[in-house]
């Protein structure tokens, strides 16, 4: 059963230099209790999509089309139509966000325990001070931070501990959905692995669903149930982590997979994706990826591919509609 349904969502940034189509007609489903990975290069629209889901965008960003429907157990809620008071109650209690840089998202002049307490005090006004204190200690313990660090300020914590504190704040009200926007960026691989293990453990214990956003496809292969690949503001492929790793159907997905080394097997040369991401103010005609694609043929420069269902997911590529052409290795 889906807990979140995104349909036809589009986001533009308006400027004097032209309109940037950062998210273009994106549709995704998030099932209860699953981890949905969202991958793509910088500028592909991942973070803009995350902010749009929680209605955290600020001008000049503008949602121009689509809907974000949250499924409570007894009703459906269109997040984009919530009034300010209802939206404030919705955030943290039903949908929480863990941002990319904990140092920027945490309040630098408040102890981390006080920041968790602040969320509880605002959203659970009937909770006693003692109960809030116990909840703060419990949350910090669950993310691997000792209780004696609740009075520490963000600058007194390591990068990994700050990220854990941000996750503890997101968990404070037991939300159904947590959006994690590159939560392990700039952390070393050992700390990354610890945090990924913690996220999986917490997800299994509390039953929330996760949208996990990163440019690191190898990391998503390890943690995600399903993965959606974004390019130039659009979703170009979806599927289970196993299927995308075993048989990617979009050349862009294949390029992302070949950009990181394998831990087992013979040594291979890493093959990067040629060229650079397109200017979102002036996308090329047809498939936006075709100028960088080694498998492109004539129709790719004229026809914009649709995201079509397949046996193991969806893909937006003319190669899958033309059986005479194959993805080049």
Residue 322's pLDDT is: 62
Residue 233's pLDDT is: 96
DSSP string, 147-196: GGGTT--GGGS-HHHHHHHHHHHHHTT--SEEEEESTTTTS-HHHHHHHH
Residue 218's pLDDT is: 83
Residue 329's pLDDT is: 45
pLDDT along the chain (329 residues), means of 10: 96 89 96 95 93 94 96 92 94 90 85 96 94 96 92 92 92 95 81 88 93 89 94 96 92 88 70 88 94 93 91 88 51
CB within 8 Å of 214: residues ≥ 6 apart: 37, 38, 39, 46, 182, 184, 185, 220
Region for residue 160 given its phi and psi (left: phi exceeds 0; alpha: psi -120 to 50; beta: otherwise): alpha
Query: What is the distance between the alpha carbons of residues 25 and 19, in angstroms, rounded to a whole number?
Result: 15
pLDDT single digits (tens) 158-216: 988 998 999 999 999 999 999 999 888 777 888 888 888 889 999 999 999 999 999 88
Both tokens of 80, joined, read 């984009």
- How many other β-carbons are positioned within 10 Å of the β-carbon of residue 266? 5
Residue 324's pLDDT is: 41
- How many other β-carbons are positioned within 10 Å of the β-carbon of residue 164? 25
Grouping H, G, I as helix, E, B as strand and the rest as coil, residue 121 is helix
Residue 263's pLDDT is: 63
Residue 183's pLDDT is: 85
Grouping H, G, I as helix, E, B as strand and the rest as coil, residue 277 is coil
- How many other β-carbons are positioned within 10 Å of the β-carbon of residue 261? 11
């Amino acid at each position: 059963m889906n807990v979140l349904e995104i349909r036809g969502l589009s986001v533009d940034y308006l400027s004097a230099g032209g309109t940037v189509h950062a998210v273009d007609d994106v549709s995704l489903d998030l099932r209860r209790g699953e981890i949905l990975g969202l991958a793509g290069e910088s500028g592909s629209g991942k973070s803009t999509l995350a902010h749009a889901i929680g209605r955290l965008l600020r001008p000049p960003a503008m949602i121009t089309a689509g809907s974000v429907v949250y499924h409570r157990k007894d009703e459906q809620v269109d997040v984009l139509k919530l009034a300010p008071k209802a939206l404030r109650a919705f955030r943290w209690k039903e949908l929480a966000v863990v941002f990319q840089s904990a140092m920027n998202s945490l309040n630098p002049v408040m102890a981390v325990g006080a920041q968790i307490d602040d969320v509880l005090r605002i959203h659970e006004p009937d909770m006693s001070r003692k109960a809030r204190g116990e909840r703060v200690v419990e949350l910090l313990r669950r993310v691997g931070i000792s209780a004696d660090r609740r009075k520490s300020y963000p600058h007194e914590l390591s990068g990994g501990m700050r990220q854990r504190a941000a996750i503890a704040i997101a968990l404070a009200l037991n939300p159904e959905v947590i959006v994690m926007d590159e939560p392990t960026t700039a952390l070393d691989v050992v700390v990354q692995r610890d945090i990924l293990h913690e996220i999986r453990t917490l997800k299994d214990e509390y039953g929330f669903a996760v949208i996990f956003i990163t440019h690191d496809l190898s990391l998503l292969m390890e943690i995600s149930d399903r993965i959606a690949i974004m390019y130039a503001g659009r979703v170009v492929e979806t599927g289970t982590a196993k299927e995308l790793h075993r048989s990617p159907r979009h050349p862009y997905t294949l390029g992302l997979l070949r950009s990181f080394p394998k831990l087992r097997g013979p040594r291979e040369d890493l093959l990067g994706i040629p060229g650079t991401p397109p200017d979102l103010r002036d996308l090329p005609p047809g498939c936006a990826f075709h100028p960088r694609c080694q498998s492109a043929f004539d129709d790719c420069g004229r026809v914009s591919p649709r995201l079509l269902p397949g046996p193991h997911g969806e893909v937006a590529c003319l190669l899958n509609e033309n059986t005479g052409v194959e993805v080049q290795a």
